[in-house]
Structure 1
Amino acid sequence: MSTKNILLTVVALVVMAAVAYTLTSSDDPDAYLERVESERDKQFKFLKYNEDSPLSKEQKAALGNLSFYEIDPAFKIRAKMVAVEDRKVMELPMTDGSIEKYIKHSYLEFDLKGSPQKLLLLQSFNEVDKRNFFLAFADATSGGDTYGGGRYLNLRQDGKNSISIDFNLAYNPYCAYNPDFACPLPPKENLMEIAIEAGEKDYSVKKD
């Protein structure tokens, strides 16, 4: 399977998981924690056992766990979607110097722990389901606790002009595990000044 097809397959799996996660959302704190833990466990099993995992056989054998921040419900927020007036194609640079095409769809406006934020929401140029989106971001933890090239979220629109964002589900791109993979870098609009202490930490960070 080609690298492109592998990435498309994984994105599809993540989107389906996100849809199920959103549909089963409730205000019950324990149920919420269980759902996030379940998604993290699925991610670990994919990396550890799936043939499409970016990990080498040696890495799979050595992988005992992934490193995450503690689940913090404060990082699960609702954002207003403000449509980009002229939805042009954006050529997002990849870690290997190539480019990948996305549509500049909307700006996400929200408050996070009292700090107003605005991020650019992208849609894959070849996306069939127009309610599926891609968010690549970097923040004050990037290059420290988290991967220097940023982290990702696959989002699905669940409101007329709004969307749920749960940074507890933020995950690493493939190139965080294996430099042979090319990954999109976050656009300049998504370089956050605050620390997003939620989601997956850097694969290279020493595990406890």
Structure 2
Amino acid sequence: MYKLLLFVLLFLGTNLYSQQLFDEQSVADFQKDMNKHYADSTSSPLKKEDLKMFQSLDFFPASADFFVQATFIRTEKEKPFKMPTTTDRKPLYVKYGELHFTIKGIKCQLNVYQNIDLSKKPGYADYLFLPFTDLTSGVESYGGGRYIDLRMQESKQWTINFNMAYNPYCAYNESYSCPIPPQENDLKVEVKAGVKKFHD
């Protein structure tokens, strides 16, 4: 899972969060780089039979409706907890804060988390994890939810680009161990942005 994390964070660090306006080209570049990552046999999570047939991931069309400005609320004195995964592994996370925003007029809230072990590694002190499910989960997008990787942002207004939401590796190969989005991060809205489900 860390291979995809490294890739996504590298891209975000040089493109996404230096911008405060929606940029369709950045989304196109993200999709291109994702496809390159998945087509590469040395980094792809795809099973051998899927890799042989792979041409492209399926993405929702890029949309400014899912490039949102959220109000960030820092939550203090949170206790670390073991986040359930698709295996027996339970990595230690802590709730870092809350993000409040609207999508198409619907008020939404997501908790954003920090991985305790990862935060101790060089270059990851400001990394945050935003897992979520929404009304497309299990229909158009992966039923186990999707992830967005964030860097801590300086102001109280944070940018979330759902166009860069991606599937956990478990969506492609059940041999991986992937965090399960907490129930409180279930959005009661269709987030038609980012990567769609791989195949049934």
Output the TM-score relative to the length of structure 2: 0.91
User: Deviation of residue 25 (structure 1)?
Assistant: 2.6
Residue aligning to 2:105: 114
Aligned counterparts of 2:10 and 2:25: Cα–Cα separation in 1:
18
Alignment match of 1:13 (pick from 7, 13, 17):
7
Residue 189 of structure 2 aligns with an amino acid whose one-letter code is: I
The one-letter code sitting in structure 1 at the alignment partner of 2:195 is: E
Residues 3, 43 of structure 2: 8 Å contact kept:
no
Q: Percent identity?
A: 31
Give the Cα separation in 1 of the matches to 2:98 and 2:71: 8
1:101 counterpart = 2:92:
yes
Match of 1:4 in 2: none
Query: Following TM superposition, by how much is the alpha carbon of 1:118 offset from its aligned partner in structure 2, in angstroms?
Result: 1.0
Q: C-alpha distance in 2, partners of 1:19/1:162?
A: 18
Quick one: distance in 1 between partners of 2:176 and 2:12? Answer: 23
How far apart in 2 are the matches of 1:176 and 1:117?
Answer: 25
Q: Distance in 2 between matches of 1:51 and 1:179?
A: 18
The runs of at least 4 aligned residues of structure 1 exceeding 3 Å deviation read none
Contact persistence 1:155–1:164 (CA under 8 A): no
1:73 paired residue number: 64
Tell whether the 8 Å contact from 1:123 to 1:133 is kept in structure 2 after alignment.
yes
SS, match of residue 3 in structure 2? helix
Amino acid at match of 1:16: L
- Secondary structure of the equivalent of 2:83? strand
Equivalent residue for 1:52, pick from 21, 39, 43: 43
Alignment partners' CA distance in 2, 1:200 and 1:74: 16
Amino acid at match of 1:160: S
Q: Within 2, Cα distance between the matches of 1:63 and 1:18?
A: 25
What SS does the aligned partner of 1:133 have?
Answer: strand
- Residue 90 in 1 paired to residue 84 in 2? no
TM-score w.r.t. length of structure 1: 0.88
**1:47–1:54 CA contact under 8 A, matched in 2:** yes
- Structure 1 residues 33, 62: CA separation in 2 closer, same or farther (over 3 Å shift)? same
Unaligned runs of 5+ in 1: 1-6
* Aligned equivalent of 1:146: 141
Q: Is the 8 A contact 1:157 1:164 kept in 2?
A: no
Aligned-residue CA RMSD (Å): 1.6
- Over 3 Å counting, the alpha-carbon distance change for 1:26 and 1:162 in structure 2 is closer
**Distance in 2 between the 1:57 and 1:9 partners?**
18
Distance between the aligned counterparts of 1:69 and 1:142, measured in 2? 13
| Offset, 1:55 | 1.1
Query: Corresponding residue for 1:162?
Result: 157
